[in-house]
């Protein structure tokens, strides 16, 4: 199994060939040398950005998206849980009412049964 190069190694491998070719026999003294060195510094910064910073920024953005998604899911679950708790409380209260009603229907009445009024018939 081949070992993956580190970020530093990847940057060096990106920069080294161009620097060796571009700096050989270069006059680095005076204003033109300063301009040449500044151009190389800009190029190195761009290479570092594309090799390290940009992938990290993309990873950070993807992570932030996942956190946002999970936060939204957690909020929905909290709301759904609170709704479920209210439903349980409401249903528990209704069960208690129905059990009391059933118990009252099962108890023998202390009053004697009353006769139902008779409906006159048309003969």
Per-residue pLDDT reduced to its tens digit, 13-53:
877 887 777 777 777 788 888 888 888 888 888 888 888 88
Q: Could you report the per-residue pLDDT of 46-82, keeping only the tens digit for each?
A: 888 888 888 899 999 999 999 999 999 999 999 999 9
What residue ranges do the domains of the chain occupy?
7-20+29-104
Is residue 113's pLDDT more than 60?
no
CA distance 59 to 36: 34
CA count, 13 A, side-chain hemisphere, 61: 6
**Helix 30-48 and helix 7-23: axis angle, to 10°?**
150
SS3 readout for the chain = CCCCCCHHHHHHHHHHHHHHHHHCCCCCCHHHHHHHHHHHHHHHHHHHHHHHHHHHHHHHHHHHHHHHHHHHHHHHHHHHHHHHHHHHHHHHHHHHHHHHHHHHHHCCCCCCCCCCCCCCCCC
pLDDT category, 97, cuts 50, 70, 90?
very high
């Amino acid at each position: 199994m081949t070992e993956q190069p580190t970020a530093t190694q990847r940057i060096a491998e990106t920069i080294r060939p161009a620097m060796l070719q571009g700096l050989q026999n270069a006059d680095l003294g005076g204003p033109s040398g300063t301009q040449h060195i500044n151009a190389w510094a800009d190029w190195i910064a761009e290479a570092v950005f594309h090799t390290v910073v940009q992938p990290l920024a993309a990873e950070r953005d993807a992570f932030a998206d996942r956190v946002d998604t999970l936060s939204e899911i957690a909020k929905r679950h909290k709301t759904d849980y609170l709704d479920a708790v209210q439903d349980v409380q409401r249903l528990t209260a209704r069960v208690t009412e129905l059990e009391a009603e059933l118990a009252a229907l099962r108890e023998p009445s202390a009053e004697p049964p009353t006769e139902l009024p008779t409906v006159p018939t048309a003969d």
